[in-house]
Amino acid sequence: MAGIYIHIPFCKKACHYCDFHFSTSLTYKNELIQQLLMEIELRKEYLKGDVVDTIYFGGGTPSLLSKGELIAILDKIHNTFRVHDTIECTLEANPDDLSSDALIALNDAGINRLSIGIQSFFDEDLQYMNRSHDAAQAARCIDAARDAGIENVSIDLIFGYPLLSDDKWKQNIDTALTYEVPHLSCYAMTVEPKTALASFIKSKKTLPINHEQSASQFEYLMKALQAKGYEHYEISNYALSGKRAVHNSNYWKGIPYLGIGPSAHSFDGVSRQWNVANNMTYIKSLGEGIVPFEQEVLTETQQLNERIMTSLRTMEGFDMAYHKNKCSMEDAFAFDKTVQHFIQEGLLVAENDVIKLTQQGKLFADYVAGELFV
Ligand code: SF4
């Protein structure tokens, strides 16, 4: 089993909070797609014959691709790798790209799951974020996706920014729930260095993030979605039964994946690779038949710490027996002591040698995991 991630590094506008790799100039889109196809060819041995069961178009904004471009990439994958008969094929999309015709084209091309970047159903909030869509487009696109035959829809929402009152956050969740989408991804706004948001906060053009407000909105979200039958299966992800994102779940299980495109990451079980995050350097290098990447072989300790971090973020939790097998008596003793401390603090629970975050613990997930690292 393996996954393939394709990074499409173009966006219509730069969202103020975003630090992903993308360009707002589409001038070299054709050249870049040709080199994506070249990279797929050059990396055909990476998955060592594993069967591909998920493909994920991320970015950037993959909904900027035409039907022909999508089909060319998918055909190349099918002709290069062993691909399962039934695959989850996800595309991240922005609401303003999802006209009825565009959705029919996506369905025809083989996309069977959409991850739609709604973020908010309020115009003023979308403008604050500098999103390319408006509230009306956000409200329309979910039903339009179903009408076009794509039932498996996930929507993204953002909370924890100063403009978002608790009342507006409740309305966003209520609106999302009226669509009965099978999956939601909800993220707290973070201020990444070198983003427009960071500079606006520094120059006092906008208020900083209020972390208490963000935490209380996260708590409300967890309760509201669990009350409607959604599994909180990963810290930022909620799904109705049987509707978890397979591609993302496989990341958290440590299953290998191949990342294609500028800035895309790959993992083969032992080492990580990441491609250059520059469109022109990527195009030029692939033009010379070279994939421009850096690589890191993970030590046993790094692998263990990654497993602690990713497992704790999931509802399945972290298996302590795995830890005992992988580290010294001394480290195991220190680990047990820290676990007991967090259990007493109400941030962790232990069941059958598996530790899981409590609702309270989910507010401090990164801190708890960091304290448990070897
Ligand atoms: S559309 Fe997505 S990738 Fe593009 S700038 Fe906005 S958040 Fe970033």
Residue 245 lies in a domain: yes
80 and 203 in a common domain: yes
**CATH number of the domain that 89 lies in?**
3.20.20.70
Residue 15 lies in a domain: yes
Residue 329 has pLDDT above 90, yes or no: no
Contact 15 CB / ligand 1 (< 6 Å): yes
Choose one of 186, 221, 252: the last residue of a domain: 252
Q: From its phi and psi, is residue 254 left (phi > 0), alpha (psi between -120 and 50) or beta?
A: left
Looking at the whole model, is its pTM more than 0.85? yes
User: Span 82-93, mean pLDDT?
Assistant: 97
321 and 225 in a common domain: no
Residue 328 has pLDDT above 90, yes or no: no
Residue 122 has pLDDT above 90, yes or no: yes
Residue 264 lies in a domain: no
Contact in structure between 304 and 311 (CB atoms under 8 Å): no
Contact in structure between 282 and 32 (CB atoms under 8 Å): yes
- Say what percent of the chain tops pLDDT 90: 95
243 and 162 in a common domain: yes
Contact 60 CB / ligand 1 (< 6 Å): yes
CA of 71 to the centre of ligand 1 (A): 23
Peptide bond into 259 cis (omega under 30): no
Q: Which domain holds residue 141?
A: 2-252
308 and 177 in a common domain: no
CA of 18 to the centre of ligand 1 (A): 6
* Adjacent-strand bridge partners of 59: 8
229 and 88 in a common domain: yes
Contact 14 CB / ligand 1 (< 6 Å): yes
Contact in structure between 53 and 246 (CB atoms under 8 Å): yes
Residue 359 and residue 218: Cα distance in Å, rounded? 10
Among protein residues, the one whose CA lies closest to atom 3 of ligand 1: 60
Convert the pLDDT of each residue in 207-250 to its tens digit: 999 999 999 999 999 999 999 999 999 999 999 999 999 999 99
- 3 state SS for 216-236: HHHHHHHHHHHHCCCEEEECC
CA of 59 to the centre of ligand 1 (A): 7
Task: Tell me how many domains the chain contains.
Answer: 2
Cα dihedral 283, 38, 150, 223 in deg (nearest 10): -60
Please state, rounded to an integer, the average pLDDT across all residues of the chain. Answer: 96
How is 308-374 classified by DSSP, letter by letter?
HHHHHTBTT-EEHHHHHHHS-HHHHHHHHHHHHHHHHTTSEEEETTEEEE-HHHHTTHHHHHHHH--
Chain-centre distance of CA 262, in angstroms?
A: 16
Residue 290 lies in a domain: no
Among protein residues, the one whose CA lies closest to atom 8 of ligand 1: 18
